[in-house]
Amino acid sequence: MSDLGRPPHFDGTNFPYWHVRMSCFLKAKCLGIWRVTKHEMNPIAQPNNPTKADEKELHLNAIAWNSIFESLSIEVFNRVYELKSAHEIWTTLIELHNSTSDVKEQKYSLIKEAFDSFQMLPDELANYMYSLLNVIVNELDAIAHHPIIKN
């Protein structure tokens, strides 16, 4: 595996551009890394006693997982960090950022409602509140740039 530098950055905007660039980045890193991202890892028969082939699968997934996480802004990362495989993260990002117009309109309504009712809680730190607000604003902005949505 050659050193390709840093993966392309994704801040929640211009998903199609990032998606193509990240696909190319993962393929160039190693076709096995791309395979576990796009199609999932081969099943691990005995997770407590992995074979050499199982260890290779787990390692490919770890590299893909790390590459994707390294590319994400904190706002996007916060939406997928709990997922357990590169494939889950990849498909979730596709679902979140490449939806149909009906889904985007529904998301816009929900996010706009969250924005309209947003307020700082009494025990909340300003940095945490600001981070949460940024996630809402970035999601709202990303969806608002969709041609179906009229501001």
- Fill in the amino acid letter for 122: P
Kindly state whether residues 81 and 32 are assigned to the same domain: yes
For 116, the token pair is 């309209």
- Do 59 and 37 share a domain, yes or no? yes
- pLDDT(50) > 60: yes
Q: Are residues 51 and 108 in the same domain?
A: no
Residue 138 counted as domain residue: yes
pLDDT digits (tens, 9 = 90+) for 67-76: 999 999 999 9
Q: How is residue 43 annotated by DSSP?
A: P
Indicate whether 61 pLDDT > 90. Answer: yes
Question: CA–CA separation, 104 vs 19, rounded Å?
Answer: 18
Question: pLDDT tens digit string along 76-129?
Answer: 999 899 998 999 999 999 988 875 555 667 777 788 888 888 888 888 898 888
pLDDT at 13 over 90: no
Is residue 7 one of the residues assigned to a domain?
no
**How far is residue 2's CA from residue 40's CA, in Å, rounded to a whole number?**
22
Instruction: Identify whether residues 84 and 43 lie together within a single domain.
Output: yes
User: Tell me, what's the pLDDT at 148?
Assistant: 41
CB atoms within 10 A of CB 127: 8
Instruction: Count structural domains, the chain.
Output: 2
- Do 88 and 117 lie in one domain? The reply is no
Domain that holds residue 115: 101-144
